[in-house]
Amino acid sequence: MTLSLSTLDSLKPEHRPETDPRDLAPRVVHFGLGAFHRAHQAVYTEAAAAASGQPWGIAAVNPRSPEPVERLRTQDCLFSVTDRRTRVVGSVVEALGMVPDAGRVDELLTSPEVTVVTLTVTEKGYFRDPATGRLDTANPEIAADLAGRPPRTVIGRLATLLAARFRASGAPISVVSCDNAAGNGRALADVITSFVSASGWPDREAVQDWLRTVVAFPATVVDRIVPAVTGATTDAAAAALGVRDEMAVAAEPYRQWVLEDSFAAPRPPWEADGALFVADVAPHQLMKLRLLNGSHSALAYLGLAAGCRTVADVLATGWGERMVRGFTAEVAPTLPASDLDVPAYVDALVERFADPAIGHRLRQIGSDGSLKIAERWLPVLRERGGAGPVLALALAAWVHATRQPFGITDPLAESLAACWDGAPDTATVVARLLTAIGGADLAGDPALVAAIARRLPAVEAGRIDP
Ligand code: NAI
Ligand code: CS2
């Protein structure tokens, strides 16, 4: 038996959803039907609908692969989240493929009933130039969308859909990035507006004007460790539920959502489930991105070099916790002054990372490093004027990983690997690599480059001693 509306009644009450999708309407459109959306925004939205009695449902759109859409449809859009317990979530009401179901997605985005768009499309999905952070219009995928084909990138598609909404009614809407980037709201607004500006649309100036004045792009901080789904995740969910759930996800119990309180139109009352609405998310955002995500990337490259598989494996070594504490101590001085309790946050991080129940693979975190490191580490290096010993060691481990000993995926994998070709010394490789990810200024700092290059032989030998 498979999870669906018809098998819902067979579930024990503690496994059932808080809302019935049949009582909800699609009022939020989400792009990126990945593991994180299911364990985060879908959970908050379900609780918001249940608490308010308002019919906030999600139409979840997958940009690329058709499998999650097909699987979710088979299950009437139901799926479960396992943390300490397993529970079915009932907030998704439609599953759509961005390209195959373009007509329906268009209908939704032009409907005034839809007032919120959310996104979890990974750092790659924004097509930002590493050196400037602006839309990379030279990227072949963006260039093809700009040349007039039916858009296949989320940025091209969303810009086109928002323009259609402007032309249809101009009804206000909020577009909410839930990806890990500093200033994610402004970054998204910028790539969308740049796409419109580079389009040949006769009304592009009016569209840009509307985007600037009517559409909101609130910044957000999203937090919940949600590892990629494995067979074990699905089997555990089936054992708990008594029915198969091919869209099951497992996540840590902790979750957090901090949003800039600047929405343009009605939104789900996510605060009913603990989301925090604040005037300025920057202190929360930088603390999370630089301490949690920054340490995560360090754990990934150093852990892989030491032969570990998961984050918890690294924390179980003699040096894992020391590394996290050393790394965060080097980063903390760059955080903006605020009343947030940084030492308590670091203590909690160590505990979250050490949880053996979360099999968070280092290879997953290490993927797309060219984009993640540019976001997580480079601003820290700039602001503190170089690296301390732990940051330098982490950078050396990333440099080692670019040679592909672990087969990590990255949109720049080939050009990073090419930085090793014909280099007279490792300092040259380091400088080339930093330049490739948008850190030409850092590549020009000989002390930093030498500190990284000096640590490379130990990392290559798997000797990690932070
Ligand atoms: P996932 O691999 O399960 O899903 C990735 C989603 O992004 C899929 O819907 C995929 O179609 C889409 N995508 C991938 N490349 C794309 C591209 N070039 N253009 C457009 N869409 C693309 O990953 P997951 O776990 O859902 O994470 C997605 C993002 O959510 C992360 O990159 C991060 O920014 C954010 N996030 C994830 C957390 C986690 O622990 N998994 C926690 C906090 C934030
Ligand atoms: C991780 C994040 O995959 C990664 O790069 O650092 O997805 C991390 O698990 C989340 O941001 C936690 O909220």
What are the tens digits of pLDDT across the range 269-281?
999 999 999 999 9
Scan for tokens 């040096």, then name that residue: 319
Secondary structure of residue 234 in the 3-state scheme? helix
**Protein fold of 5-278:** Rossmann fold (3.40.50)
Q: How far is the CA of 34 from the centre of ligand 1 (A)?
A: 6
Q: Is the pLDDT of residue 332 over 90?
A: yes
Arithmetic mean of pLDDT, 357-383: 97
Q: For residue range 249-299, what is the model confidence (pLDDT) as tens digits?
A: 999 999 999 999 999 999 999 999 999 999 999 999 999 999 999 999 999
Q: How far is the CA of 332 from the centre of ligand 2 (A)?
A: 19
Beta bridge partners, 277, equal 259
pLDDT confidence of residue 130: 87
Q: How far is the CA of 203 from the centre of ligand 2 (A)?
A: 39
Arithmetic mean of pLDDT, 336-348: 97
DSSP letters along 318-353, please?
SSHHHHHHHHHHHHGGGSPP-S--HHHHHHHHHHHH
C-alpha to C-alpha distance for 329 and 326, rounded to whole angstroms: 5
8 A C-beta contact, residue 288 and residue 273:
no
Query: Band of the pLDDT at 206, cuts 50, 70, 90?
Result: very high
Please name the helix (run of DSSP H) or strand (run of DSSP E) that holds residue 315, with its range, or none: helix 311-315
Q: Is the CB of 180 under 6 A from ligand 2?
A: yes
Q: Is the CB of 221 under 6 A from ligand 1?
A: no
pLDDT confidence of residue 327: 98
C-alpha to C-alpha distance for 291 and 76, rounded to whole angstroms: 39
State which ligand 2 atom lies nearest to the alpha carbon of 368: 5
8 A C-beta contact, residue 71 and residue 247:
yes
DSSP state at residue 180: S
DSSP letters along 100-119, please?
TTHHHHHHHHH-TT--EEEE
8 A C-beta contact, residue 171 and residue 232:
no
Ligand 2 binding pocket mutation candidate from 295, 311, 365 (most atoms within 8 A of CB) = 365
Rg (CA), the chain: 22
Structure tokens at 363: 């290879």
Closest among 68, 75, 143, 154 to 109, alpha carbons compared = 154
pLDDT confidence of residue 391: 98
State which ligand 2 atom lies nearest to the alpha carbon of 226: 9
- CA 32 to the chain's CA centroid: 10
Q: Rounded to whole angstroms, what are the CA distances from 96 to 85, 175, 279?
A: 28, 18, 33
Q: For residue range 379-394, what is the model confidence (pLDDT) as tens digits?
A: 999 999 999 999 999 9
pLDDT confidence of residue 131: 87
Arithmetic mean of pLDDT, 131-154: 95
Per CATH, is 282-460 categorized as 1.10.1040.10? Answer: yes
8 A C-beta contact, residue 82 and residue 233:
yes
Instruction: Tell me whether the CATH fold assigned to 5-278 matches the one assigned to 282-460.
Output: no
Arithmetic mean of pLDDT, 76-103: 97
C-alpha to C-alpha distance for 382 and 342, rounded to whole angstroms: 21
Q: Is the CB of 296 under 6 A from ligand 2?
A: yes
Domain ranges of the chain: 5-278, 282-460
pLDDT confidence of residue 53: 98
Amino acid identity, position 141:
E
